[in-house]
Amino acid sequence: MYTFIINPASRSGLGGQIWSRLEPVLKDNHIPYRAWQTGYQRHATRLARELTADGKEHTIIVLGGDGTVNEVVDGIRDLDRVILGYIPVGSGNDFARSLGIPKDPKAALRLVLSPPGHAPMNAGQIAYSDHAGRTRTKRFAVSAGLGFDAAICHQAVISRLKPVLNRLHLGKLTYALIALDRLRLLRRATCTVTLDGGETLTFPDVLFAAAMNHPFEGGGFMFCPAADPCDGRLDLIAVSGVSRLRALLLLPLALKGAHTRAKGITIRTFERAVLTSDTALPVHTDGEPVFLQRRMEISLAPGRLRVIAPGS
């Protein structure tokens, strides 16, 4: 039995349109399935939590963007008991990009229905304090970060331009315009990172720091080319001490992963990291905003998902 969680609002309504084209394929081929459509923020998390509360094995197929994947992964009770498939509809699709999942929805559905195998994927998680001082945890599938990349995500959520450009298939232009604006306005900070309880790194004038489970973030920026979601580790990238102009020049290099040896770029691998900042900075998990934070812990979540992917 396949369980579909669909975000019909993904990419300004494209998710609903794609589902209306794919559902007849399931019916015509007598594929056993059940389907839920999300109706509000964090609905996919609630659905995943309720669906997996029985402790049984489940095959969950996500139709939406990286944000929908994030919500589902965050809601699953036991990662070891879930096979995850993905039909990418969002504007970023970094989760699909690094796993080689087809962009074409029908091709992605064929992959789901005839899987060559499963990639044993780790998920990451952050621990942080909410506005009341309570410790919260949140999983991520692709990446989590603080600073510039998170500021872009925060602004994109409230952008009136994003839905318009998504309808014109120019979603990436939204992020480019927001990036220029945030680069101008973002306050820099000093960030300290302690890796696996040992090495401590200090980054003055940090632009951003991110934990990467996959190589890509932000719609195709290969910030950590060696990141592997199946290797039992996370990759850290920190960008510090670079001017605004130099940051703009580095971004095109990051599309090809050619930025890693540039001055001001630090990359490490870890299982657990503690990030502290002298200024509260925006935080995101898979592009989904979290409260402004001065401190967060990043680690691997217990268990592994079995992700349907080509060549796995």
What is the reported pLDDT for 171? 57
Report residue 8: phi and psi, to 5°: -65, -20
Q: Residue 92 belongs to what H/E stretch?
A: none
Beta-bridge partners for 237:
210, 267
Quote the pLDDT of residue 193.
98
- CA end-to-end distance (rounded Å), the chain: 21
170 CB-near residues (< 8 Å, 6+ apart): none
Instruction: Give the per-residue pLDDT at 172.
Output: 58
pLDDT along the chain (312 residues), means of 10: 96 93 97 98 97 98 96 98 96 91 97 96 96 92 91 65 55 62 75 95 95 93 96 97 89 93 97 96 92 94 96 70
SS (H, E, C) 37-65: ECCCCCHHHHHHHHHCCCCCCEEEEEEEC
Residue 75 · residue 298 · CB < 8 Å: no
Output phi, psi for 238, to 5 deg.
-130, 135
What pTM value is reported for the model?
0.92
For residues 209 and 9, what is the distance between their CA atoms, to the nearest angstrom?
Answer: 30
Domains of the chain plus CATH, in order, are 2-122 (3.40.50.10330), 124-300 (2.60.200.40)
pLDDT for the residue 89? 94
Alpha helices by DSSP H, listed for the chain, are 10-28, 43-51, 66-75, 94-99, 105-113, 148-158, 161-167, 171-185, 244-254
